[in-house]
Amino acid sequence: MQISHEVTRKNLPAVPVSPVPAPFLSAYSAAIRRYDLLEPGQEQQLARRWQQTGDRSAADALVTSHLRLAAKLARGYKGYGLPMVDLIAEANLGLVIAASRFEPGRGARFSTYAVWWIRAAIHEYILRSWSLVKIGTTAAQKKLFFKLRSEIRKATGNVMSGLTPDVAELIAGKLGVTAREVIEMDVRLNGDLSLNARVGGDDGGTELEALLVDGAIDAETMLADHEQTERRAKALRVALGGLAARERHVFEARRLTECPVTLDRLARELSISSERVRQIENRAFAKVKRAVMLAAQDTPRSVVCGV
């Protein structure tokens, strides 16, 4: 039985989408703690009541009992510079989607099932907010976007003292990108910086301008590349929107997440074989690839060739 997402959202504690003072988050955390955690049997009973009778109170209870889980996962993404209230709101949306798709007869705990939908909603919000143009369109660039900060912490002994050329080279080799891409992503994640700022944070560091500038690339080429990237990004968003729900879930879990979900875990979650998950992933990838290629064919030659 399909449910409207609004059914289980209406009784959630309100999470505004505008900037709010820090005390609100404390008040929200206190509010959601009043909802009791559920035992496995209670989860199954509530899910069946909703599926079989459409009991909205059962759906509300299933969702609200896991608001703490959604908030905890949302807090893990605070480093992306986005409003925490928005991250929590998106996490709650993922929780609601999970409740609408949960099948109690498969024996899995709702929290295990919900984690992936919550993370998928958060990731989609982050990608939407930063835009695929800023992040990049390749799998390696997306991996760099989600893992750069943690890799810098590992390389510097958990001290975020700034990105040095040596650290950039180390991370580049580990993630399969160039040092320049690492430096550019660091600039994007840290907002607008002066090109005269020194990488490494001391007077002996190298200026960003010296690391980023490429005399072989002129303004017209950069504009053409930017326009082409925008078209590819739009094509990717359209392609994702055209995937079936399960295809999109598998594709995002395998290709667009900070830590790709293993085939075995997705197989257990969806109650299918690992080989079937692989087939779904390959089919979704083929659809996305075809859509992006068709969009490229529709791109004017003046953009592709820079004429």
- Residues pairing with 207 in the sheet: 198
pLDDT band of residue 277 (cuts 50, 70, 90) is very high
Q: Delimit the domains of the chain by residue range.
A: 5-130, 135-212, 219-304
Looking up tokens 């959630």 gives 12
Quick: pLDDT tens for 111-157. 888 888 898 888 878 776 765 445 555 667 677 777 787 888 888 77
Handedness of CA 116, 118, 122, 125 (dihedral sign): positive
pLDDT score recorded for residue 100: 83
5-130 and 219-304 share one fold:
no
pLDDT score recorded for residue 69: 92
pLDDT score recorded for residue 303: 35
**The CATH number of domain 5-130 is 3.40.50.300:** no
**Whole-number Å distance between alpha carbons of 226 and 137:** 12
Q: Are 17 and 85 in contact (CB under 8 A)?
A: yes
CB atoms within 10 A of CB 257: 17
pLDDT score recorded for residue 276: 93
pLDDT score recorded for residue 22: 57
Return phi, psi of residue 109, to 5°: -70, 145
pLDDT score recorded for residue 130: 65
pLDDT score recorded for residue 112: 86
What number is the average pLDDT over the span 195-205? Answer: 47
pTM over 0.75: no
What number is the average pLDDT over the span 264-274? Answer: 90
pLDDT score recorded for residue 279: 92
What number is the average pLDDT over the span 61-84? Answer: 86
Statement: residue 207 has pLDDT above 50: no
The CATH code belonging to domain 219-304 is 1.10.10.10
